[in-house]
Structure 1
Amino acid sequence: MKSFLTILFFVAITAFSTDTVQSQTFPKMDTSPMDLAMARPDRNTPPIARVIYSRPQKNGREIFGELVPYGKVWRTGANEATELTIYEPLKVNETVLQPGTYTLYTIPEEDMWTVIINKNANVWGTVYKKENDIVRLETPARNAAAPAESLSMVFRPENNGATLMIGWDKTYVEVPFEKVK
């Protein structure tokens, strides 16, 4: 009887251990992982803006004009549309954005991009309605010093705000945000 209980105990422990190991299996990583960029004047001050986006990969593809067509609204990333959060009033192209969360879209062209800040939020893909645009800004498409394999965004601190740099492959654009005085 003692040996039967011992065997039963080890079978139960083994079964429990197998379930525990299996429950620790994580799904495959997203091919366009989410990332975030914060705009801070310096490390010791609160952020003035944040952007959350998914980072698609080049993977040998032709990006602008092919994967991302010219002249069409783009969610500026993959998966969910790119989310822009403003923490204090900021001016973009003479329009003051109040604190809140917005969607950032772009319309890439070969030499110029239109950057759109739209009042919709929590949007999948390009569920875009022009009537919800708050700001439209045309900015030159610039040649990057080196190609970027993944879509990348970073805020560059400025004296009176920050400039959002959006770059992928051989192209980048700049979007200036100014603090409201």
Structure 2
Amino acid sequence: MKKSPFTKSIAFAFVLLFTTALSAQEFSGLDKSPMDAATFPSDYKESNKTIKVLYSRPQLNNRLLSQLAPNDKVWRTGANEAVQITFYKDTNFGGKMIDAGTYSLATIPGDKEWTIIINKDLNTWGSYFYKEENDVARVIVPVKMAEDSVEAFSIIFDEDATMHMGWDKVRLAVPTSSK
């Protein structure tokens, strides 16, 4: 018995509907603090990196920096998960030697200086589970105030391997060098 074109169409539509339902995924919306990466060297053509920082970029959104990153309290240095910093070679980070490896990076903001913390703990959410006893190094850097405001927290490296952090009018610089 021959099937009509209508029956074939209904069968095809049913299979298509059933297949789509099985493979459909629910994707979350865009993150309000998107993930970003800063590397040195920052040139995309250079594949031999010495440092990579993975972090999320919170926005001010008409809020005060002092509310988002309060002075004298450990801050996750971004949003969401703790910042991850990888040194591909033994590196002098702000005057402290750090062995090659992957670490978390946190900060303690202040009016005149910030403490940059390199810590052994990985895969932690924010700074909620920060343990000072797992610090590898702490570096004190002076705060410089800029005239212009940066809406989204940002990290970049310049051509001299200095890591720059900026948010609102606060600017920080940590010199680095590798062996």
Q: Secondary structure of the residue that 1:6 maps to in structure 2?
A: helix
Task: Tell me the CA shift for residue 94 of structure 1.
Answer: 3.4
8 Å contact kept, 1:93–1:135: no
After superposition, the CA RMSD in angstroms is 2.3
Task: Tell me the CA shift for residue 115 of structure 1.
Answer: 0.7
Rounded Cα–Cα distance in structure 2 between residues aligned with 1:6 and 1:45: 54
**Paired letter, 2:162:** T
Relative to structure 1, is the Cα distance of residues 7 and 46 closer, same or farther in structure 2, using a 3 angstrom cutoff? Answer: closer
Q: Secondary structure of the residue that 1:8 maps to in structure 2?
A: helix
Task: Tell me the CA shift for residue 18 of structure 1.
Answer: 5.5
Relative to structure 1, is the Cα distance of residues 122 and 25 closer, same or farther in structure 2, using a 3 angstrom cutoff? Answer: closer
Q: Which moved more, 1:119-128 or 1:10-19?
A: 10-19
8 Å contact kept, 2:94–2:174: no
Task: Tell me the CA shift for residue 12 of structure 1.
Answer: 1.3
Question: What's 2:92 paired with?
Answer: 91
**Paired letter, 1:154:** I
Per-residue CA deviation, residues 101-147 of structure 1 (Å, 9 max, x unaligned), is 01111000112111111122222111211111121111111113421
Structure 1: give runs of 5+ residues left out of the alignment. none
Task: Tell me the CA shift for residue 17 of structure 1.
Answer: 7.2
Question: What's 1:34 paired with?
Answer: 35
Stretches (4+) displaced over 4 A: none
8 Å contact kept, 2:95–2:139: no
Rounded Cα–Cα distance in structure 2 between residues aligned with 1:119 and 1:89: 15
Structure 2: give runs of 5+ residues left out of the alignment. none
Per-residue CA deviation, residues 149-170 of structure 1 (Å, 9 max, x unaligned), is 1111001121xxx111111111
Question: What's 2:79 paired with?
Answer: 78
Question: What's 1:176 paired with?
Answer: 175
Matched, 1:56 2:58: yes
Rounded Cα–Cα distance in structure 2 between residues aligned with 1:24 and 1:133: 40
Rounded Cα–Cα distance in structure 2 between residues aligned with 1:7 and 1:130: 66
8 Å contact kept, 2:96–2:139: no
TM-score (norm 1): 0.86
Written as runs of structure 1 = structure 2, the 5 A alignment for 1:1-181 is 2=4, 5-6=7-8, 8-12=10-14, 15-16=17-18, 19=21, 23=24, 26-40=27-41, 43-44=45-46, 46-63=48-65, 65-126=66-127, 127-158=129-160, 162-180=161-179
Rounded Cα–Cα distance in structure 1 between residues aligned with 2:6 and 2:84: 61
Task: Tell me the CA shift for residue 16 of structure 1.
Answer: 4.2
Identity %: 40
